Amino acid sequence: MKLPYFILDVFTRDRLAGNPLAVVLKADGLSGARMQAIAAEFSLSETVFVLAPKDERHTNALRIFSPITEMAFAGHPTVGAAVLLGLQSRMSAVRLELGVGLVTAVMERIDKRTGHARFALPRLPERVGGAPADDEIAGRLGLAPDAIGLDGMRPAQYSAGVSFYLVPVRDAAALEAVKLDRRGWADTFSGQRSSVYVFTRTPDERNNDYAARMFHVAHGAGEDAATGSAAAALIGLLSDQPQYHDGHHTIRLRQGREMGRPSLIELQFNTEQGQLRHAGIGGSAVVLAEGMIDLDD
């Protein structure tokens, strides 16, 4: 069995920036265990496997794996796969079956190896839990307790299919100063994933409105360069703030700068009478490499 694969950099138009992604095509003959083993071999934050759809009206089905587990939804694999499939088929929209539901991604071709995709979230983000005390959070992040919180926003857990601890900090200097203390991390941030998305406003930066960093210490993955599922969860917290009630909102969020992998994630959402009605994310992706997986005996 030989399977074509591509490596893309996602949430960027620049090669060797953004969040790298492996996309394996024609993966219908693989078992879930084989997919997991291939994802571990690539050792990227996620690998996506493209399969024939269950419904012939749809473009493809996707299965998404981290090096250690399958995921029902992740943003950068969805954007990257949508861009690659759109580039290959010249379609302006692809309908993708994910574990969390059907996603219709609108794709714009930028050049022969670069595209931009955006899609409505199949599940609106919602608050799913509270957060530890500020001093506990600050201790894990290497910050002073008074750095936690931003313009009335408080730490909490939100999910749009994948749960994250969302931690607002007072400014970009505090975000950059984060230095993890891994001892007791899973005790402070309990749960299956223990993933923490630290974010702040960036009023002094021209090209974005917010900045964020994502830490997934419990499973040893460390920091992530661009995390669409966390950005999707963040829409839930933002939509609960008075300044975002009633209207259409577009936000540009940077991530990965502190890792030397700058990324830009676009968020869109609508609220009516204080209720979130629609949410979506988008971004660019560029093909970096392609090759063939050889599983023949």
Active site (catalytic) residues? 46
How many of the other CB atoms lie within 10 Å of CB of 91?
16
Q: Where are the alpha helices (DSSP H) in the chain?
A: 32-42, 75-89, 134-141, 172-177, 185-188, 228-239
The dihedrals phi and psi of 257, each to the nearest 5 degrees, come to -60, -40
Residues across the chain: 297
What tokens appear for 58 in the block?
């749809």
Q: What is the DSSP string of 44-58?
A: SS-EEEEE--SSTTS
Amino acid at 146: D
Tokens 């009023």 sit at which residue? 203
Contact (CB, 8 A) for 48 and 19: no
Spatial separation of the C-alpha atoms in residues 167 and 153, rounded to whole Å: 9
